[in-house]
Amino acid sequence: MKHARTDGIDPAARSRSRRRALQAVYAWQMSNSPIDKVIEQFQHEQDMEIADLQYFEDLVRGVADHHDELDLELVKYLDRTLEQVDPIERAVLLIAAYELRHRPDVPYRVVINEAIETSKRFGADQGHTYVNGVLDKAAADWRATEMQQKR
């Protein structure tokens, strides 16, 4: 039996928001369309009704607003240039980096797990292992205190 969360957060709706955010960030990367236009397109899709729309928009706007900073931070953990990273994995990494850097309310393990699951679903065959490796290193730096408390 599932228990209702008392903090008002629906993990399933958040997962759907991350998946939709991945698609929106990917579309934004590929089209260079204004972020407002991309968000508007995705808000009109039917399964957005069962996603956490506010969280979706925070993720997409957060990545768009901070992408230069996030790119600079992520590059430290990559074994290749950012341009050489598959566009799906790059979008997953950007969303996870945004959450790790700007959403301390979301536990790092949740961020990493969701990124892995999303890249398994949408990315290249072994893309999730690459995403996992990059985010493990990033979280060790960015969320060091939180990681130490979990041990």
Please tell me the predicted confidence (pLDDT) of residue 151.
59
Under 8 Å between Cβ of 151 and 140? no
The pLDDT of 93-112, averaged and rounded, is 97
**pTM above threshold 0.95:** no
- Ranking 14-18, 60-64, 92-96, 130-134 by mean pLDDT, the lowest is 14-18
Chain-centroid distance of CA 48 in Å reads: 17
CA atoms within 13 A on the CB side of 35: 14
Is the model more confident about 63 or about 5?
Answer: 63
Overall average pLDDT of the 87-104 stretch = 97
The enclosing H or E element of 143 equals none
Domain boundary assignment for the chain: 12-150
Q: What is the CATH number assigned to the segment(s) 12-150? A: 1.10.940.10
Q: So what's the pLDDT on residue 6?
A: 46
